[in-house]
Amino acid sequence: MQEFITLAGVFEPPGKGNGRLATESILVFITKWNRDLRIFDQEGVEIGAVRKSRGQYELSDAERLCRVRRTYKSWLKIYFEFSVVGLDGAEIGTIGRQEQKMLYKHTPGLGRPPAIGRGDAAPRHAGPTASDLESLAIKLRRPDGSTIATLRDSQGGVVSRARSDQRRLYIEDEPGHEAARLTYWQRPAFWGGYVLELQPGLSEPLRTLIVATVLPVDKNIIDHGSDGGV
């Protein structure tokens, strides 16, 4: 576990929390062969997991933290949205790239979106231009649609390129302060994972949305790579 944390550039890990997803400053997500995503603390103790159940994904430690489900995907998979729902069934927020005009208005909860009629034309995209760059940013939003944070790459740009074997992403809150770092790493035999570093004192719903962001980012977890994340 120390090797992965070192790869992420964490040389002096902060003090360990109490072994919960809601309190640890460093979380290590490990996946192998598209199985359940296992979650460890900075000392290598397994404290949680992400499991697929009934078309949605549950993040849990001793108890469930939240559920994540894709609620929208454009036909070219450029734009997408995932809903994050808490223990009480209320929507915490959403994660995704949002088209300027969505096909439907997402409603709180995990219900299915309205079906698109057979005669309805699919939206057409000529491909993103420079003016469209901000629409490719992965945004963390409150239930009312307001942005709470943005996922950016190491150059400060929006995340829009395919990932490499090792890559660092940043999550900035709406004032532009760094709230978290997410470093991807890969090893032979098709296994890899993420080191998530969270700034102390993050308020909700930002912290839970940041932890849940690992799912839309990881192509190996969501639908076994069929849905483009970053």
Q: What is the pLDDT of residues 65-87, one digit of tens each?
A: 999 999 988 887 788 899 999 98
pLDDT of residue 3: 74
Output phi, psi for 5, to 5 deg.
Answer: -65, -40
pLDDT of residue 179: 95
pLDDT of residue 54: 79
Residue 16 buriedness (CB in 10 A; 0-12 / 13-18 / 19+): middle
Pull the structure tokens for residue 22: 């809601």
120: DSSP letter:
P
Pull the structure tokens for residue 41: 């603390």
pTM for the structure as a whole: 0.78
Euclidean distance between CA atoms 83 and 96, whole angstroms: 9
Query: Which among 97, 90, 217 has a CA at the least distance from the CA of 163?
Result: 217
Domains and CATH numbers, the chain: 2-107+134-225 (2.40.160.200)
- Name the stretches of the chain with pLDDT < 70: 11, 32-35, 100-135, 153-166, 187-191, 219-230
Residue 215 buriedness (CB in 10 A; 0-12 / 13-18 / 19+): buried
Pull the structure tokens for residue 79: 């734009």
* Residue 109, strand partner residues: none
Pull the structure tokens for residue 13: 């890990």
pLDDT of residue 58: 93
Output phi, psi for 39, to 5 deg.
Answer: -120, 130
Query: Which among 117, 120, 122, 66 has a CA at the least distance from the CA of 94?
Result: 66
